[in-house]
Amino acid sequence: MCRYLDILRCLHFVNNEAVPRNNTDRFVKFGGIMSHVFERFLHFVRPREYLCIDESLMPFKGRLSFKQYVPTKRARFGIKFFVLVDCETKAVLRMIPYQGKGTGLDPQYQRFEIGGSVVISLLQDRFFGKHHKVVADNWFSTPALAKYLLDNDTYFLGTMQKRRCGDLKPQLARKLRKGEVEAFVKDGVVVERYQFHSVS
Protein backbone atom coordinates (compact mmCIF):
# COMPACT_ATOMS: atom_id res chain seq x y z
CA MET A 1 0.00 0.00 0.00
CA CYS A 2 1.21 3.52 -0.84
CA ARG A 3 2.41 5.32 2.30
CA TYR A 4 1.34 8.70 0.92
CA LEU A 5 -2.26 7.49 0.42
CA ASP A 6 -2.28 5.96 3.91
CA ILE A 7 -1.26 9.31 5.40
CA LEU A 8 -3.81 11.13 3.24
CA ARG A 9 -6.64 8.87 4.46
CA CYS A 10 -5.74 9.44 8.11
CA LEU A 11 -4.81 13.13 7.91
CA HIS A 12 -6.71 15.25 10.48
CA PHE A 13 -6.36 18.93 11.30
CA VAL A 14 -8.90 18.98 14.13
CA ASN A 15 -9.82 16.66 16.98
CA ASN A 16 -13.36 15.38 16.25
CA GLU A 17 -14.24 15.53 19.94
CA ALA A 18 -13.34 19.23 20.02
CA VAL A 19 -15.97 20.16 17.37
CA PRO A 20 -19.00 21.73 19.11
CA ARG A 21 -22.36 20.02 18.60
CA ASN A 22 -24.01 23.22 17.38
CA ASN A 23 -21.28 23.82 14.79
CA THR A 24 -22.48 25.31 11.46
CA ASP A 25 -19.07 25.68 9.79
CA ARG A 26 -18.81 22.90 7.21
CA PHE A 27 -15.06 23.49 6.93
CA VAL A 28 -14.46 23.10 10.65
CA LYS A 29 -12.38 19.94 10.06
CA PHE A 30 -9.74 22.10 8.34
CA GLY A 31 -9.18 23.96 11.59
CA GLY A 32 -6.91 26.97 11.08
CA ILE A 33 -4.82 25.34 8.34
CA MET A 34 -6.15 27.55 5.51
CA SER A 35 -5.59 30.84 7.33
CA HIS A 36 -2.17 29.63 8.48
CA VAL A 37 -1.11 28.74 4.92
CA PHE A 38 -2.14 32.13 3.54
CA GLU A 39 -0.43 33.95 6.39
CA ARG A 40 2.76 32.11 5.44
CA PHE A 41 2.28 33.07 1.77
CA LEU A 42 2.24 36.73 2.74
CA HIS A 43 5.71 36.37 4.28
CA PHE A 44 7.06 35.64 0.79
CA VAL A 45 4.69 37.55 -1.53
CA ARG A 46 4.43 41.33 -1.39
CA PRO A 47 1.03 42.31 -2.84
CA ARG A 48 1.31 44.80 -5.70
CA GLU A 49 -0.94 47.73 -6.56
CA TYR A 50 -3.85 45.89 -8.22
CA LEU A 51 -5.85 43.14 -6.49
CA CYS A 52 -8.70 41.15 -8.00
CA ILE A 53 -11.64 39.51 -6.22
CA ASP A 54 -13.71 36.84 -7.92
CA GLU A 55 -15.28 33.44 -7.38
CA SER A 56 -13.53 30.19 -8.25
CA LEU A 57 -14.94 26.68 -8.56
CA MET A 58 -12.89 23.70 -7.43
CA PRO A 59 -14.18 20.70 -9.46
CA PHE A 60 -15.97 18.06 -7.37
CA LYS A 61 -18.69 15.62 -8.46
CA GLY A 62 -19.11 13.60 -5.26
CA ARG A 63 -21.86 13.92 -2.68
CA LEU A 64 -21.59 17.15 -0.75
CA SER A 65 -24.32 19.32 0.79
CA PHE A 66 -22.72 22.61 -0.27
CA LYS A 67 -21.63 21.55 -3.76
CA GLN A 68 -22.44 24.27 -6.29
CA TYR A 69 -23.65 24.15 -9.89
CA VAL A 70 -22.30 27.06 -11.94
CA PRO A 71 -23.13 26.56 -15.65
CA THR A 72 -20.77 29.33 -16.79
CA LYS A 73 -17.72 27.55 -15.36
CA ARG A 74 -15.81 24.85 -17.24
CA ALA A 75 -16.19 22.27 -14.44
CA ARG A 76 -19.80 23.32 -13.59
CA PHE A 77 -19.98 21.23 -10.38
CA GLY A 78 -17.73 21.84 -7.40
CA ILE A 79 -16.88 23.79 -4.26
CA LYS A 80 -17.07 27.55 -4.67
CA PHE A 81 -14.48 29.87 -3.14
CA PHE A 82 -14.23 33.65 -3.05
CA VAL A 83 -10.62 34.46 -3.91
CA LEU A 84 -8.35 37.49 -3.49
CA VAL A 85 -5.57 37.47 -6.10
CA ASP A 86 -2.60 39.74 -6.80
CA CYS A 87 -3.03 40.77 -10.44
CA GLU A 88 0.72 41.02 -11.16
CA THR A 89 2.10 37.88 -9.53
CA LYS A 90 -1.15 35.82 -9.87
CA ALA A 91 -0.63 34.74 -6.24
CA VAL A 92 -3.73 33.76 -4.24
CA LEU A 93 -3.65 35.90 -1.10
CA ARG A 94 -6.83 34.79 0.67
CA MET A 95 -9.84 32.49 0.16
CA ILE A 96 -13.28 32.14 1.73
CA PRO A 97 -15.23 28.92 1.05
CA TYR A 98 -18.86 29.52 0.10
CA GLN A 99 -21.30 27.67 2.37
CA GLY A 100 -24.56 29.46 1.61
CA LYS A 101 -26.00 31.14 4.71
CA GLY A 102 -23.26 29.54 6.80
CA THR A 103 -20.45 31.34 4.96
CA GLY A 104 -18.10 32.74 7.61
CA LEU A 105 -18.65 36.49 7.16
CA ASP A 106 -18.64 39.18 9.83
CA PRO A 107 -22.30 40.12 10.60
CA GLN A 108 -21.38 43.78 11.15
CA TYR A 109 -20.98 44.14 7.35
CA GLN A 110 -24.46 42.85 6.42
CA ARG A 111 -25.45 46.29 5.14
CA PHE A 112 -23.08 45.74 2.19
CA GLU A 113 -24.96 42.57 1.12
CA ILE A 114 -23.11 39.27 0.78
CA GLY A 115 -20.89 40.49 -2.11
CA GLY A 116 -19.67 43.52 -0.20
CA SER A 117 -19.21 41.49 2.98
CA VAL A 118 -16.98 39.09 1.03
CA VAL A 119 -14.82 41.95 -0.28
CA ILE A 120 -14.36 43.48 3.18
CA SER A 121 -13.68 40.10 4.81
CA LEU A 122 -10.96 39.34 2.25
CA LEU A 123 -9.32 42.76 2.55
CA GLN A 124 -9.66 43.77 6.20
CA ASP A 125 -6.74 43.92 8.62
CA ARG A 126 -3.83 43.33 6.25
CA PHE A 127 -4.82 45.11 3.00
CA PHE A 128 -6.60 48.28 4.16
CA GLY A 129 -4.74 51.58 4.30
CA LYS A 130 -2.18 50.67 1.61
CA HIS A 131 -3.85 52.34 -1.39
CA HIS A 132 -4.49 49.07 -3.22
CA LYS A 133 -6.77 49.18 -6.26
CA VAL A 134 -9.35 46.40 -6.03
CA VAL A 135 -11.13 45.10 -9.15
CA ALA A 136 -14.36 43.04 -9.00
CA ASP A 137 -17.46 42.34 -11.10
CA ASN A 138 -21.04 43.53 -10.54
CA TRP A 139 -21.91 40.72 -8.10
CA PHE A 140 -19.70 42.44 -5.50
CA SER A 141 -20.11 46.10 -6.49
CA THR A 142 -22.21 48.72 -4.70
CA PRO A 143 -21.57 52.46 -4.13
CA ALA A 144 -21.71 51.88 -0.35
CA LEU A 145 -18.87 49.35 -0.64
CA ALA A 146 -16.79 51.71 -2.81
CA LYS A 147 -17.26 54.52 -0.26
CA TYR A 148 -16.34 52.26 2.68
CA LEU A 149 -13.15 51.10 0.94
CA LEU A 150 -12.25 54.69 0.04
CA ASP A 151 -12.60 55.65 3.71
CA ASN A 152 -10.05 52.88 4.41
CA ASP A 153 -7.56 54.21 1.81
CA THR A 154 -8.44 51.48 -0.70
CA TYR A 155 -9.70 52.15 -4.24
CA PHE A 156 -12.39 50.09 -5.95
CA LEU A 157 -13.11 49.53 -9.64
CA GLY A 158 -16.05 47.43 -10.76
CA THR A 159 -19.05 47.16 -13.02
CA MET A 160 -22.39 47.86 -11.35
CA GLN A 161 -26.04 47.15 -12.02
CA LYS A 162 -28.33 50.17 -12.05
CA ARG A 163 -30.72 48.57 -9.53
CA ARG A 164 -27.89 48.37 -6.97
CA CYS A 165 -26.99 52.08 -6.99
CA GLY A 166 -28.65 52.52 -3.58
CA ASP A 167 -28.52 56.08 -2.17
CA LEU A 168 -26.17 57.27 -4.92
CA LYS A 169 -29.00 57.63 -7.49
CA PRO A 170 -26.84 58.87 -10.37
CA GLN A 171 -28.58 61.38 -12.64
CA LEU A 172 -27.69 59.81 -15.96
CA ALA A 173 -29.32 60.27 -19.35
CA ARG A 174 -31.76 57.60 -20.47
CA LYS A 175 -30.03 56.94 -23.76
CA LEU A 176 -26.52 57.56 -25.09
CA ARG A 177 -25.30 57.66 -28.64
CA LYS A 178 -22.67 55.18 -29.77
CA GLY A 179 -19.24 56.12 -28.45
CA GLU A 180 -20.57 58.51 -25.80
CA VAL A 181 -19.51 58.43 -22.13
CA GLU A 182 -21.44 59.93 -19.22
CA ALA A 183 -20.13 60.39 -15.67
CA PHE A 184 -21.64 61.18 -12.27
CA VAL A 185 -19.69 61.98 -9.08
CA LYS A 186 -20.90 61.93 -5.48
CA ASP A 187 -19.03 61.50 -2.16
CA GLY A 188 -15.82 60.47 -3.95
CA VAL A 189 -17.58 57.74 -5.96
CA VAL A 190 -17.51 58.06 -9.76
CA VAL A 191 -20.12 56.28 -11.89
CA GLU A 192 -19.46 56.11 -15.64
CA ARG A 193 -21.75 54.85 -18.32
CA TYR A 194 -20.62 53.84 -21.81
CA GLN A 195 -22.38 53.18 -25.08
CA PHE A 196 -19.99 51.01 -27.07
CA HIS A 197 -19.75 50.87 -30.83
CA SER A 198 -21.23 47.69 -32.24
CA VAL A 199 -18.65 45.17 -33.51
CA SER A 200 -19.35 43.77 -36.96
Q: What is the pLDDT of residues 125-168, one digit of tens each?
A: 889 999 999 999 988 988 889 999 999 999 999 888 777 776 66
What is d(CA 7, CA 12) in angstroms, rounded to the nearest whole number? 10
Q: What percent of the chain has pLDDT over 70?
A: 90
Report yes or no on 36 lying in a domain.
Answer: no
User: Considering its fold, how many domains does the chain have in total?
Assistant: 2
Q: Are residues 112 and 53 in the same domain?
A: yes
In the predicted structure, residue 120 carries a pLDDT above the cut 90: yes
Report yes or no on 17 lying in a domain.
Answer: no
Report yes or no on 144 lying in a domain.
Answer: yes
In the predicted structure, residue 4 carries a pLDDT above the cut 60: yes
Q: Are residues 123 and 189 in the same domain?
A: no
Q: Are residues 53 and 98 in the same domain?
A: yes
Q: How confident is the model at residue 33 (pLDDT cuts 50, 70, 90)?
A: confident
In this structure, what CATH number is given to the domain that contains residue 148? 3.30.420
H-only helix segments in the chain: 3-10, 33-44, 113-123, 143-151
Question: Which of left, alpha, beta for 24 (phi over 0: left; psi -120 to 50: alpha)?
Answer: alpha
Report yes or no on 84 lying in a domain.
Answer: yes
In the predicted structure, residue 112 carries a pLDDT above the cut 60: yes
Report yes or no on 9 lying in a domain.
Answer: no
Nearest C-alpha neighbor of 114 from the set 146, 92, 82: 82
Report yes or no on 126 lying in a domain.
Answer: yes
In the predicted structure, residue 80 carries a pLDDT above the cut 50: yes
Report yes or no on 28 lying in a domain.
Answer: no
In the predicted structure, residue 200 carries a pLDDT above the cut 50: no
Q: What is the residue range of 184's domain?
A: 170-200
Over residues 51-72, the pLDDT tens digits come to 999 988 888 888 877 788 888 7
pLDDT at 174: 66
Q: Is the pTM of this model over 0.85?
A: no
Q: Are residues 75 and 51 in the same domain?
A: yes
Report yes or no on 4 lying in a domain.
Answer: no
* Residue 124 or 194, more confident: 124
Q: Are residues 178 and 141 in the same domain?
A: no
Judge contact between 142 and 170, C-beta under 8 A.
no
Q: Are residues 108 and 184 in the same domain?
A: no
pLDDT at 153: 93
Amino acid at site 43 = H
Over residues 83-93, the pLDDT tens digits come to 999 999 999 99
